[in-house]
């Protein structure tokens, strides 16, 4: 994984001051120097300090607000305003930060360098040169996961490349993907990128064509943004006003006309009608393809060792991530490499409700799924990593997370992003839990789990995190997919509804770069960690979209209510649940979908937020 930052200007601008007295080319692999560039001390605002000091009083006032709001028979608006005034008096007004003047391109470049550096804490390089009467200033950071190590920017023939991500082509399994890619570009030109299987973003200068190409893979799994006025800045991390690159487009910047053209990729997805398939064989095919997608993302991590975990799973305990965790374990056993795996589960103390992190729904489900996975794979050391986030930590980091997730700026985005941010953190000690008695039964374990586990303080060293994102978009896991069938009655042909579902799922994949991927990449990569998505493998997406009919993604069932009304009760992700059964994961097969912000209780932590909506702007 890398961080990308490029500045292309008609005039040379001074070298960035954030790197000290650097020349036209400067590089560093000293971890202490690199850390000094991106490390920052976070500080609570005066208002946040008041919130911490008065939690009990604020909670009482919040409960009073709820009681007054629930009394619909009598007008309590005056009393409500009085309570709100008391809250405001305790908390005070949040002091707005005075934004740094970043109108100048080099000021923006300087401001972004620490954030780009944090994404790749193993190596950084700055390079300045002139081409076609334009000044190029390129900065790259590297998290070294593939061997042999290759520095960036990398140049060959007429090309200069900055590359962030992973390539999973068979010819690239045991080599550095950046070097592989530039060789492919030298041989085949920019078309080499169009059908490349991987998770990446890039900036490519072609000196002969006098073009700069930039963009993301077809799905958009790595963040890339740009800002174009007189100068062009392309960055893995945006500032206000920057545009997020679309996942299914290639951007071409003409160095002669200084203009940008956007070229759409062919995604290869087609909408399906209802249809019949040979269910058993399709279940096996989905399993085998997903297992291969997981394997190629697993075997390219270097180095693997048995002392600590080199990979982890963002783990709610639900069906999507549990399937991925089980596939990782199957692959390790078949590879005869009995390495450790961290299952990361995050929960938040909520001062508004009084619930602590250990009582979140995800924590309970993750414990159950971890327990059964540990019993199923006793050869491996499967560790449940419980990450408990207190209110002070949430207050301390939330502004940083809000900046990282830009341009997504809603309450829902914050509650999702901050859960992923803390799940991947490198600073807050967690509880590592390992099962020491693999014969114990679940009901006995629940009575006294401490008797059957080893628990220690721990910080996960895994630099590669696996995510179950994409399963809901491919297999119809959201309530909006189920609602398509809400008015359907028995005996009515559901063809039009299933066609609508198929179209909806394709749309979900087409916009997932904007809805999820850019945001999640920015918050997790800020810790120098990398996300990998087996469900979003290009060939797996094409297979599931084009070969699995929508009536096997949602299975229609009907039931009669107590009042005698017959209504539809669709089963979301039906065929994926059958895959779980095929894998021997019956313990998670029927678990319902639960959004991370509700499973981890990261939503609505502030006093007075009980009525807030996820779509509300921050």
- State CA 210 to chain mean position distance: 35
Whether a cis peptide bond, with omega within 30° of 0, leads into 303 is yes
Task: Judge whether residue 596 has pLDDT over 80.
Answer: no
The secondary structure element, H or E, covering residue 472 is: helix 471-475
Whether a cis peptide bond, with omega within 30° of 0, leads into 148 is yes
Phi, psi of 471, deg, nearest 5:
-65, -40
Q: How far apart are CA 407 and CA 239, in angstroms?
A: 8
Residues 6+ apart with CB under 8 A from 614: 410, 411, 412, 415, 597, 603
Q: How far apart are CA 460 and CA 430, in angstroms?
A: 8
CA nearest 575: which of 545, 597, 605? 545
pLDDT band at 577 (very low <50, low <70, confident <90, very high): very high
CA nearest 205: which of 167, 238, 232? 232
Task: Judge whether residue 98 has pLDDT over 60.
Answer: no
Q: How far is CA 522 from CA 165, 216, 225, 517, in A?
A: 13, 14, 11, 9
pLDDT band at 267 (very low <50, low <70, confident <90, very high): confident
Mean pLDDT of 342-357: 88
Q: How far apart are CA 353 and CA 335, in angstroms?
A: 47
Mean pLDDT of 250-254: 97
- Tokens for 97? 């930060």
The per-residue pLDDT for range 486-509, each reduced to its tens digit, is 888 888 999 999 999 999 999 999
Q: Give me the pLDDT at residue 342, please.
A: 96
pLDDT band at 303 (very low <50, low <70, confident <90, very high): low
Task: Judge whether residue 608 has pLDDT over 60.
Answer: no
Q: Are 341 and 382 in contact (CB under 8 A)?
A: yes
> Quick one: DSSP state of residue 306?
S
Tally Cβ neighbours within 10 Å of residue 73: 5
Q: How far apart are CA 551 and CA 554, in angstroms?
A: 5
Q: Are 398 and 413 in contact (CB under 8 A)?
A: no
- Tokens for 322? 């549990």
Q: How far apart are CA 578 and CA 586, in angstroms?
A: 9
CA angle centred on 97, ends 93 and 101, rounded to 5°: 155
pLDDT band at 558 (very low <50, low <70, confident <90, very high): confident
Q: Domain coordinates of the chain in residue numbers?
A: 2-39+104-264, 46-91, 279-474+511-545+590-599
- Calculate the dihedral angle through the C-alpha atoms of 412, 414, 415, 417, rounding to the nearest 10 degrees: 120
**In the CATH hierarchy, which fold is given to the domain comprising 2-39+104-264?**
3.60.20
Mean pLDDT of 590-612: 69
Mean pLDDT of 436-465: 93
Task: Judge whether residue 101 has pLDDT over 70.
Answer: no
Q: Are 433 and 383 in contact (CB under 8 A)?
A: yes
Q: Class of the 279-474+511-545+590-599 domain? A: alpha beta
Phi, psi of 296, deg, nearest 5:
-70, -25
Q: Are 315 and 366 in contact (CB under 8 A)?
A: yes
The residue to which tokens 């799905």 are assigned: 219
Q: How far is CA 436 from CA 433, 453, 601, in A?
A: 9, 5, 29
> Quick one: DSSP state of residue 348?
E
DSSP 7-69: EEESS--PPPGGG-S--SEEEE--HHHHHHHH-------HHHHHHHHTHHHHHHHHHHHHHHH
Mean pLDDT of 392-413: 92
Q: How far apart are CA 288 and CA 323, in angstroms?
A: 12
pLDDT band at 467 (very low <50, low <70, confident <90, very high): very high
pTM for this predicted structure? 0.94
- Tokens for 447? 């009575």
Q: Are 241 and 232 in contact (CB under 8 A)?
A: no
- Give the helix ranges, DSSP H, for 299-436: 319-334, 361-376, 391-405, 411-423
Q: Give me the pLDDT at residue 610, please.
A: 55
**Total residue count of the chain as it appears in this document:** 618
Q: How far apart are CA 369 and CA 319, in angstroms?
A: 9
- Calculate the dihedral angle through the C-alpha atoms of 42, 47, 50, 51, rounding to the nearest 10 degrees: -80
Q: How far is CA 138 from CA 106, 120, 130, 298, in A?
A: 12, 15, 11, 30
Strands (E), 402-557: 430-435, 453-458, 464-466, 530-532
Query: Using CA of residue 473, residue 477, residue 483, residue 487, what is the dihedral sign?
Result: positive
Return the bridge partners of 259, or none: 254
Q: Are 425 and 531 in contact (CB under 8 A)?
A: no
pLDDT band at 301 (very low <50, low <70, confident <90, very high): confident
Residues 6+ apart with CB under 8 A from 368: 317, 442, 587
The per-residue pLDDT for range 188-243, each reduced to its tens digit, is 999 998 888 899 999 999 999 999 999 999 999 999 999 999 999 999 999 999 99
Return the bridge partners of 4, or none: 140
Burial tier of 376 (Cβ tally within 10 Å: 0-12, 13-18, 19+):
middle
The per-residue pLDDT for range 477-486, each reduced to its tens digit, is 999 999 999 8
Q: How far apart are CA 59 and CA 608, in angstroms?
A: 9
Q: Give me the pLDDT at residue 599, please.
A: 64
Q: How far apart are CA 139 and CA 109, in angstroms?
A: 9
Task: Judge whether residue 1 has pLDDT over 80.
Answer: no
């Amino acid at each position: 994984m890398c961080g990308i930052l490029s500045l292309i200007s008609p005039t040379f601008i001074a070298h960035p001051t954030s790197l000290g007295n650097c020349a036209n080319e400067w590089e560093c692999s000293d971890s202490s120097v690199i850390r000094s560039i991106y490390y920052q001390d976070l500080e609570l605002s005066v208002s946040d300090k008041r919130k911490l000091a008065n939690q009990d009083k604020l909670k009482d006032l919040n409960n009073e607000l709820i009681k007054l709001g629930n009394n619909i028979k009598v007008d309590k608006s005056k009393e409500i305003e009085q309570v709100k005034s008391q809250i405001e008096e305790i908390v005070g007004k949040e002091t707005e930060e005075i934004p740094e003047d970043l109108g100048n391109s080099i000021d923006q470049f300087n401001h972004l360098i620490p954030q780009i550096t944090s994404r790749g804490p193993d190596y950084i390089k700055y390079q300045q040169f002139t081409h076609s009467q334009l000044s190029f200033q390129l900065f790259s950071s590297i998290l070294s996961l593939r061997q042999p190590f290759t520095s960036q920017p990398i140049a060959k023939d007429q090309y200069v490349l900055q590359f962030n991500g992973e390539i999973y082509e068979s010819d690239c399994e045991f080599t550095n993907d950046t070097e592989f890619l530039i060789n492919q570009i030298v041989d085949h030109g920019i078309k080499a990128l169009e059908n490349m299987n991987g998770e990446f973003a890039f900036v490519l200068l072609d000196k002969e064509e006098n073009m700069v190409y930039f963009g993301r893979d077809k799905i958009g799994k790595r963040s890339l943004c740009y800002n174009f006025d007189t100068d062009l800045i392309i960055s893995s991390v945006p500032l206000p006003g920057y545009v997020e690159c679309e996942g299914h487009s290639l951007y071409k910047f003409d160095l002669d006309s200084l203009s940008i053209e956007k070229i759409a990729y062919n995604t290869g997805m087609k909408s399906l009608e209802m249809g019949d398939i040979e269910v058993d064989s399709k279940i096996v095919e989905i399993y085998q393809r997903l297992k291969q997608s997981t394997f190629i993302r697993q075997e390219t991590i270097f180095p693997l060792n048995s002392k600590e975990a080199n990979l982890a799973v963002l783990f709610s305990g639900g069906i999507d991530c549990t399937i991925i965790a089980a596939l990782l374990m199957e692959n390790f056993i078949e590879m005869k490499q009995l390495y450790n795996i961290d299952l990361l589960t995050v929960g938040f103390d909520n001062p508004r409700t009084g619930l602590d992190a250990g009582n979140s729904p995800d924590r309970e489900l993750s414990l159950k799924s971890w327990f059964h996975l540990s019993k199923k794979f006793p050869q491996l050391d499967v560790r449940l990593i419980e990450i408990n986030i207190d209110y002070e930590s949430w207050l301390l980091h939330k502004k940083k997370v809000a900046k990282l997730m830009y341009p997504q700026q809603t309450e829902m985005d914050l509650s999702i992003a901050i859960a992923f941010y803390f799940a991947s953190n490198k600073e807050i000690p967690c509880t590592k839990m390992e099962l020491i008695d693999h014969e114990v039964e679940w009901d006995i374990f629940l009575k006294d789990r401490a008797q059957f586990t080893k628990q220690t303080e721990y910080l996960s060293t895994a630099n590669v995190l696996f995510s179950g994102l994409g399963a809901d978009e491919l297999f119809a896991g959201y309530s909006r997919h189920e609602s398509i069938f809400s008015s359907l009655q028995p005996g009515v042909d559901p063809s039009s509804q299933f066609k609508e579902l198929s179209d909806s799922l394709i749309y979900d994949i087409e916009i997932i770069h904007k809805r999820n991927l850019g945001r999640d990449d920015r918050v997790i990569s800020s810790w120098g960690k990398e996300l990998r998505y087996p469900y979003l493998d290009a060939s797996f997406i094409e297979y599931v979209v084009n070969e699995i009919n929508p009536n096997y993604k949602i299975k229609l069932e009907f039931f009669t209510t107590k009042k005698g009304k017959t209504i539809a009760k669709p089963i979301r992700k039906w065929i994926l649940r059958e895959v779980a059964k095929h894998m021997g994961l019956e313990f998670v097969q029927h678990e319902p979908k639960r959004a991370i912000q509700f499973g981890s209780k990261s939503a609505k932590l502030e006093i007075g937020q009980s009525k807030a909506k996820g779509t509300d702007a921050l």
